[in-house]
Amino acid sequence: MKATIIVTPKKSVLDPQGEAVKNAIHQQGMDCVTHARIGKIIELDISGTDVTLTRQKLEKIALEVLSNPVIEDFRIELE
């Protein structure tokens, strides 16, 4: 099984890196970009077949280890 955890800044949190990227894109002549957010992707290969238990454990790990719940949101995708 493969798990992907996507961590992004909460919408209410200023994202200076995203603003810098948006400005750089504008300087390249693509003014149609109105918003950019920068986050991180964590990909994990997982052995086992219990999707429910795996998701529960991943949610705990994402909340306690991979993200800062005060300023970041996360989502988990399982394949």
Q: Is 51 left (phi over 0), alpha (psi -120 to 50) or beta?
A: alpha
pLDDT tens per residue, range 19-29:
999 999 999 99
Dihedral angle sign, alpha carbons of residues 35, 39, 18, 30: negative
State both tokens at 20. 């810098």
pLDDT tens per residue, range 4-18:
999 999 999 999 999
- If pLDDT is split at 50, 70 and 90, which confidence band does 48 have? confident
pTM over 0.95: no
Backbone phi, psi, residue 23, to 5°: -65, -40
Q: Over the chain, what is the mean pLDDT?
A: 96
Could you give the domains of the chain?
2-78 (3.30.1280.10)
- Please state, as a whole number, how many other Cβ atoms lie within 10 Å of the Cβ of residue 18: 16
Tell me the C-alpha distance between 36 and 42, whole Å: 19
